[in-house]
Homo-oligomer: A and B are copies of this chain.
Amino acid sequence: MQRMTRQRAAVSDLLAGTDDFRSAQQLHEMLKDRGEGIGLATVYRTVQVMADNGDLDVLRNADGESLYRQCASRGHHHHLVCRRCGATVELDAASVEKWAATVGAQHGFTAVEHTAELFGLCAECTARQQSEDS
């Protein structure tokens, strides 16, 4: 059975109010800042449960860290993520789905899954970057 605890509510709340992909450690940090008493392990556990339920999307950044986000569309979709601030755009990509299915079948593979994520700098971070470079 699934219980609703103060900690779960807090994580859920935080994610509901964020549009960007965040790591478990970032979430933990943010919760502490909010004054929520919560252990890191609990954040990991909570986030994992939510991901299993399909309430959260998970992806791995270039460093291999797991990032979490509550996405608007609950089905399969892809993302365009700012590698700097985590800002995210959800993407539908019928062309990619088709490509994956076709190619998999062509080579006799079964149970084919695919990952397809775009990482870049959002408009804001691009501007910030340029002023830093100067």
Q: Report A's interface with B, CB cutoff 8 A.
A: 60, 64, 66, 80, 82, 89, 91, 93, 95-96, 99-100, 103-104, 107-123, 126
Beta-carbon contact of B89 and A93 below 8 Å: no
Contact of A103 among B64, B66, B80 (CB under 8 A): B80
Beta-carbon contact of B80 and A104 below 8 Å: yes
Contact of A110 among B66, B93, B96, B120 (CB under 8 A): B120
Given contacts A96-B99, A103-B80, contact A120 B115 (CB under 8 A): no
Contact of A114 among B103, B117, B121, B123 (CB under 8 A): B117
Contact of A99 among B95, B108, B119 (CB under 8 A): B95
- Look across to chain B and name the residue whose beta carbon is closest to the beta carbon of A122: B109
